[in-house]
A = this chain, B = another copy of it.
Amino acid sequence: MNYSFSNKVTGLQASAIREILKFTAFPDVISFAAGNPAPEAFPVKAVSEITAKILSENPIAALQYSITEGYTPLRDTVKKRLASQHSYDPDIDEVIITSGGQQGNELSCKVFLNEGDTLICESPSFIGSINSFKSYNVNLVGVEMDGEGIDPEKLEAALKANPNTKIIYLIPNFQNPTGKCMSYERRKTVYKLAQKYDVVILEDNPYGEIRFEGEHIPSIKSLDTDGRVIYCGSFSKVLAPGIRVGFVSAPKAVVQKIVVCKQVADVHTNILAQMIADEFMNNYDFEAHLEKIREIYRKKCGLMLSEIDKNFSKKITVTRPQGGLFIWATLPDGCDMTGFCKKAVEAKVAVVPGNAFTVHETDPINSFRLNFSTPTDEQLVKGCEILGKMSREMFD
């Protein structure tokens, strides 16, 4: 039969950048294109011990249907962590466990946005979230960033130009793909704009716990006096992504709507995974584990930056992230960025072209994303040498 798909999915097309990304699966290609945590950051031994304990002591609870809101002890653990580390103390019914951070963003979108409503996000932004918003036929408006985060004047102009804006989506900490961190002042400014135009802020914070340099900056959620911030967190970077556990914290009225949407989406999140996360955070040294992860990424990021400094043409500028997994490199004005990325993969190094992260794939952009968490140290050095040689030949 000839399928008549919904308007929602006809807009979600396989992208031209897939042509580049598919090479990353080739074993002889050094991939700086991934977004995976470093495997050595996974607490394998602890997860093994915990899992054996749960399946021995409490197997039925780990295998039976559970409640949509999430495993109650884990909701309480999340609540306590937000209170102790994130200057924000929600009630337990202001926390819902999700199947990864991505689900938190998707369900928040479903709860608030009708087709045609406007959602404003940083441009560039995380491709997964962008596609999630697109899958609800939302009017997506990207706003540029400067060194401190989303540009407040441009944000206000976008809010004025789009009076049907419902949500501002932001990744304040070590943003994907740029690695940028929004300053505290900027967070306050953006929150005030959200108040002025009466819109919701969707604060996505998958990388906040892996700050490996500089001072912690309180979340936008911690500034929230009138319940307009939905805060999404994830265990993907601090425990393991394969278990698909994240959470949303928001006012109770919002959480209740998210619960309804999650119930029809997947009933509840894998309960064994929730019990593992809870046990790990409470009965293992979570702080020591985080410090170990931060040390891994501090070293890897430092190595990549020093190799970039050593090898790249000085005409390429890069961000110097204080956390997260990504560095953002920008070519000189007028360069053919896609051409550069294609040439790179022909030289056996894969990076992600910047237009993977723009609201519209045709938006002009001359940057690309580099990941430092997945490659080995040897790959970091070798790949930067190759990209560096290419860049000097092209731009110097």
| With contact pairs A102-B266, A112-B6, A228-B1 given, residues A64 and B240 touching in the complex (Cβ less than 8 Å) | yes
Alpha-carbon separation in the docked complex, A1 to B166 (Å)? 12
> What per-residue 1/0 map shows which CB atoms of A1-38 lie under 8 Å from chain B?
10111111100100000000000000000000001110
Task: Give how many copies assemble into the complex.
Answer: 2
CB of A139 within 8 A of chain B? no
> A66: nearest residue on chain B (CB-CB)?
B242
CB of A254 within 8 A of chain B? yes
Alpha-carbon separation in the docked complex, A36 to B61 (Å)? 12
Query: Are the CB atoms of B270 and A6 closer together than 8 Å?
Result: no
| With contact pairs A36-B65, A63-B44 given, residues A266 and B263 touching in the complex (Cβ less than 8 Å) | no
Alpha-carbon separation in the docked complex, A242 to B102 (Å)? 20
Alpha-carbon separation in the docked complex, A273 to B270 (Å)? 8
Neighbouring B residues of A131 by C-beta, 8 Å: 260, 263-264
Alpha-carbon separation in the docked complex, A107 to B113 (Å)? 18
Query: Are the CB atoms of B9 and A261 closer together than 8 Å?
Result: yes
Alpha-carbon separation in the docked complex, A106 to B270 (Å)? 17
| With contact pairs A99-B99, A106-B264, A267-B100 given, residues A60 and B48 touching in the complex (Cβ less than 8 Å) | no
Checking B7, B12, B242, B270 against A62 with a beta-carbon cut-off of 8 angstroms, the contacting residue is B242
Query: Are the CB atoms of B243 and A272 closer together than 8 Å?
Result: yes
Alpha-carbon separation in the docked complex, A4 to B266 (Å)? 24
Neighbouring B residues of A64 by C-beta, 8 Å: 36-37, 39, 42, 240-242
User: Which A residues form the contact surface with B (CB < 8 A)?
Assistant: 1, 3-9, 12, 35-37, 39, 42, 44, 47-48, 51-52, 55-56, 59-66, 99-100, 102-103, 106, 110-115, 117, 128, 131-132, 134-135, 166, 198, 200, 226-228, 236, 240-244, 253-254, 257, 260-261, 263-273
